[in-house]
């Protein structure tokens, strides 16, 4: 295959790296942003949460819109909005403008994230599709770890605004490549389940707000309880509507596949276990050990280095491995990595984190390259965008829940404050990994991503 043939993959990887890096790039920069804009602690949490909330809540709805309107069109619109919002973040005069712009980034990121995998599926077939999905998945998993590192290095070397200036040329390159490298995808029948999109988005927003507020102001607070009640009510109405609607946003048949359910469980669990603790680990390194932002970033870079090594060595081979090993055991390994990180309680020095960071890096490198193909392998081509968006939404919910709950369980700079966040993430990682293994074992279709390589374009 000529080098030109890989241009759609390169375009997709640049866009993916951009939108997922910005999910975590501000975490280490938050203290500097608070000083620069004189922001309160509560306001600073929204610099991170506004992006995560929008990205997680709108992914599935954007996937349905992309299937109906055309994926290339929606992806390019998302990139344009992302570019403008990033520029506004870079010059934001106060916290309010920054938070609003971060929310716009998240909305645009959801449009991009929901359409990238189907665009790749349209561009490649056969063995090339395996390679493309493996490379895309590796970049997607790597970006979350790189975000923390890049944020620390940029903040330390320049200032917090460099975190956003960095994204402007990257977004411009991604936009130019998208225009010329992606083919116009076929549009669906034009029937858009607006009621389903609204109900699902309401349920997702309320659920993420409930988790965030529970960590910030308490789980028994009226705001937290109300958010969860709204989430339950909206989700109940959504499920009822999907069963009765003629053109449902989420085809209920997808969830009758135990294989697809296992993918969703693994996506949630591995992302929570591998990346949820990074924020509190960063806080402990900076506040407990008094490391600089760049030094803390370099310590945390151990995880993406392990990820890169395993992805480069085994990424494409993992496409042919049983999902019980790649997704199931990989998620369990992320939980075991959190257990290994507990060694810091006995030796409160940064080298005590090395084993845990390596194990979570290896575990996530086993899951991430396989996840895209596994999510889409049993879905009909016209629903590919919605299926991949649902899996990615589950992954982002894992990150949102992990960050929020680890933050609420982290009580201070002392290393013993890491106990409960790490125990929580370890438990979730190992439990979801085992559940996914059970679901794959009971699936009526083979626990492999092999079918997608043979599925014809439709």
DSSP states along 188-205: --S---HHHHHHHHHHHH
pTM above 0.85, yes or no: no
143 touches 288 (CB < 8 A):
no
Three-state DSSP at 139 gives: helix
212 touches 53 (CB < 8 A):
yes
Residue with tokens 């083919």: 183
pLDDT band, residue 10 (cuts 50/70/90): very high
- The rounded percent of the chain whose pLDDT value lies above 90 is 40
41 touches 164 (CB < 8 A):
no
Gap between the Cα atoms of 366 and 286, Å rounded:
30
- CA 152 from chain center: how many Å? 20
Gap between the Cα atoms of 340 and 359, Å rounded:
8
User: What tokens does 106 get?
Assistant: 């998240």
Residue with tokens 């034009």: 190
Residue 86 has pLDDT above 70, yes or no: yes
Gap between the Cα atoms of 339 and 346, Å rounded:
13
Q: What is the pLDDT of residue 356?
A: 96
Region 109-132 average pLDDT: 85
Q: What is the pLDDT of residue 16?
A: 92
432 or 30, which is more confident?
432
| Residue 195 CB burial class (10 angstroms; 0-12, 13-18, ≥19) | middle
Region 259-286 average pLDDT: 91
Minimum mean pLDDT range among 207-211, 230-234, 274-278: 207-211
Compute how many other C-beta atoms are within 10 angstroms of the C-beta atom of residue 34: 17
Region 132-136 average pLDDT: 83
Q: What is the pLDDT of residue 185?
A: 64
Q: What is the 3-state secondary structure (H, E, C) of 90-103?
A: HCCCCHHHHHHHHH
Region 251-268 average pLDDT: 88
Residue 451 has pLDDT above 60, yes or no: no
Gap between the Cα atoms of 163 and 184, Å rounded:
32
5 or 324, which is more confident?
324
Gap between the Cα atoms of 107 and 101, Å rounded:
10
168: nearest Cα among 80, 244, 96, 107: 80
Residue 160 has pLDDT above 50, yes or no: yes
| Sign (positive or negative) of CA dihedral 267, 23, 213, 85 | negative
Tell me the average pLDDT of the chain.
86
163 or 219, which is more confident?
163
Q: What is the pLDDT of residue 455?
A: 44
pLDDT band, residue 227 (cuts 50/70/90): very high
50: nearest Cα among 31, 75, 16, 22: 22
Q: What is the pLDDT of residue 91?
A: 95
pLDDT band, residue 138 (cuts 50/70/90): confident
Most confident of the ranges 65-79, 100-114, 434-448:
100-114
434 touches 332 (CB < 8 A):
yes
204 touches 56 (CB < 8 A):
yes
Q: What is the pLDDT of residue 41?
A: 64
Most confident of the ranges 10-24, 351-365, 433-447:
351-365
DSSP states along 206-220: HHHHHHHHHHHH-TT
From residue 313, alpha-carbon distances to 10, 162, 310, 365, 368 in Å are: 19, 33, 5, 10, 14
Question: How do residues 189-202 score in pLDDT, each as one tens digit?
Answer: 567 788 888 998 89
Gap between the Cα atoms of 364 and 311, Å rounded:
9
Q: Give me the helices (H) in 284-410, please.
A: 293-300, 302-314, 323, 330-341, 354-367, 371-376, 384-409
Gap between the Cα atoms of 94 and 99, Å rounded:
9
pLDDT band, residue 136 (cuts 50/70/90): confident
Region 14-22 average pLDDT: 92
57 touches 206 (CB < 8 A):
no
283 or 303, which is more confident?
303
Q: Give me the helices (H) in 218-318, please.
A: 222-244, 252-255, 258-275, 278-283, 293-300, 302-314
408: nearest Cα among 253, 217, 231, 240: 217
Q: What is the DSSP letter of 341?
A: H
363 touches 141 (CB < 8 A):
no
175 or 27, which is more confident?
175
Residue 82 has pLDDT above 90, yes or no: yes
Residue 359 has pLDDT above 80, yes or no: yes
Q: What is the pLDDT of residue 315?
A: 66
pLDDT band, residue 59 (cuts 50/70/90): confident
Q: What is the pLDDT of residue 278?
A: 87
315 touches 137 (CB < 8 A):
yes
| Residue 73 CB burial class (10 angstroms; 0-12, 13-18, ≥19) | middle
Q: What is the pLDDT of residue 400?
A: 81
Gap between the Cα atoms of 288 and 352, Å rounded:
14
Three-state DSSP at 190 gives: coil
């Amino acid at each position: 295959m000529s080098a030109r043939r890989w241009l759609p993959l390169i375009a997709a990887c640049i866009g993916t790296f951009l939108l997922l890096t910005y999910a975590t790039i501000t975490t280490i920069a938050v203290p500097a942003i608070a000083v620069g804009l004189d922001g309160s602690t509560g306001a600073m949490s929204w610099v991170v949460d506004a992006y995560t909330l929008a990205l997680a809540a709108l992914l599935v709805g954007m996937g349905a819109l992309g299937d109906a309107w055309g994926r290339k069109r929606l992806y390019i619109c998302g990139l344009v909005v992302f570019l403008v919002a990033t520029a506004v973040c870079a010059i934001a005069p106060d916290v309010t403008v920054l938070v609003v712009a971060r929310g716009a980034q998240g909305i645009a990121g959801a449009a991009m994230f929901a359409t990238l995998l189907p665009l790749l599926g349209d561009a490649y077939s056969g063995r090339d599709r395996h390679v493309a999905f493996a490379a895309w998945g590796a970049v997607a998993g790597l970006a979350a770890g790189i975000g923390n590192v890049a944020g620390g290095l940029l903040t330390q070397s320049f200032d917090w605004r460099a975190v956003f200036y960095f994204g402007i040329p990257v977004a411009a390159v991604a936009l130019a490549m998208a225009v010329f490298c992606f083919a116009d995808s076929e549009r669906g029948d034009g029937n858009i389940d607006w009621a389903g999109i609204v109900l699902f988005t309401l349920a997702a927003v309320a659920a993420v707000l409930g988790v965030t507020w529970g960590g910030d102001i308490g789980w028994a607070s009226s705001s937290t309880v109300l958010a969860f009640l709204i989430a339950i009510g909206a989700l109940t109405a959504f499920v009822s509507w999907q069963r009765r609607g003629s053109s449902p946003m989420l085809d209920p048949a997808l969830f009758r596949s135990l294989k697809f359910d296992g993918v969703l469980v693994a996506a949630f669990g591995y992302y929570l276990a591998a990346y949820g603790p990074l924020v509190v680990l960063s806080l402990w390194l900076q506040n407990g050990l008094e490391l600089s932002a760049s030094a803390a970033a370099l310590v945390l870079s151990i995880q993406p280095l392990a990820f890169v090594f395993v992805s480069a060595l085994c990424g494409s081979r993992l496409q042919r491995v049983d999902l019980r090993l790649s997704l199931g055991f990989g998620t369990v390994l992320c939980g075991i990595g959190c257990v290994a990180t507990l060694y810091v309680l006995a030796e409160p020095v940064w080298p005590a984190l090395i084993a845990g960071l390596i194990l979570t890096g290896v575990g996530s490198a086993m899951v991430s390259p396989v996840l895209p193909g596994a999510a889409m392998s049993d879905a009909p081509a016209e629903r590919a965008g919605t299926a991949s968006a649902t899996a990615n939404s589950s992954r982002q919910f894992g990150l949102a829940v992990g960050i929020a709950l680890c933050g609420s369980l982290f009580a201070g700079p002392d290393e013993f404050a890491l106990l409960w966040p790490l125990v929580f993430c370890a438990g979730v990682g190992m439990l979801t990994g085992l559940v996914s293994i059970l679901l794959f074992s009971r699936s009526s279709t083979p626990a492999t991503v092999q079918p997608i390589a043979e599925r014809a374009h439709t």
